[in-house]
Amino acid sequence: MSTPTEHEHCKMKLNNHCQSQRDKPTPIYDTVHEGSEHAGTWKSSVSIQGEEKGTGQHTTKKGAEEAAAKAALEAMGIPVPAQAQ
């Protein structure tokens, strides 16, 4: 079993936070690839209940989503896991 990266902790924490809410909103990721097939960048935004909460970019799709989750946590005033600071 692999160890989660620092940003995976952020994505997991965002999901757990949403699940703890009364109406249990689901984070929705909109992720697109820009640039060439082999050297492009992935850009992601995460929305909760239709409101964009964070954006991020990375060389991988997963990394972009994790970066967006970290930005969302910070924007919402939720402490970011120590590994991601």
| Residue-wise pLDDT tens digits, 24-77 | 999 999 999 999 888 899 999 999 999 999 999 999 999 999 999 999 999 999
Residue 1, helix vs strand vs coil: coil
Angle at 16 between CA 12 and CA 21, to 5 degrees: 155
Q: C-alpha distances in angstroms, 51 versus 8, 24, 74, 79? A: 22, 15, 15, 20
Flag whether 75 is in a domain: yes
Flag whether 85 is in a domain: no
The Cα–Cα gap between 74 and 77 comes to 5
Flag whether 84 is in a domain: no
Domain of 15, CATH number, reads 3.30.160.20
Flag whether 52 is in a domain: yes
Confidence of residue 84 (pLDDT cuts 50, 70, 90): low
Flag whether 18 is in a domain: yes
- Which range of residues forms the domain containing residue 54? 6-79
The Cα–Cα gap between 40 and 59 comes to 7
Flag whether 55 is in a domain: yes
User: What total number of domains does the chain contain?
Assistant: 1
